Amino acid sequence: MMISLFKAIESLFVDFLFLPFDALRSMDNWWGANALNWVFMLIGAAAMVYWMLQLKGFSDSGEENKDVSAHSYI
């Protein structure tokens, strides 16, 4: 019974869910094959820019306690 469950999970992923990735892998165009990676890198870069702008906003507003004894473990 457990073996058939694991075989069904394997079939779901290998035969259905990973088919788009197999198609991307077999492309002759490098840019097309790595398009998903570029999308993830752009999302990560946008998140980093957003985070840096938030940090700059808090730093400029003076809300942050920059005293050397601000944290009890220091």
| Domain ranges within the chain, ordered by starting residue | 2-61
Render pLDDT for 7-58 as a digit per residue (tens, 0 to 9).
999 999 999 999 988 888 888 888 888 888 999 999 999 999 999 999 999 8
What pLDDT shows up at residue 17?
94
Q: Given this model, what pLDDT does residue 74 score?
A: 56
Inter-CA distances, 16 with 8, 10, 27, 34, 67, Å: 11, 10, 18, 20, 56
The residues, any chain, with a CB within 8 Å of residue 32's CB and separated by 6 or more, are: 24
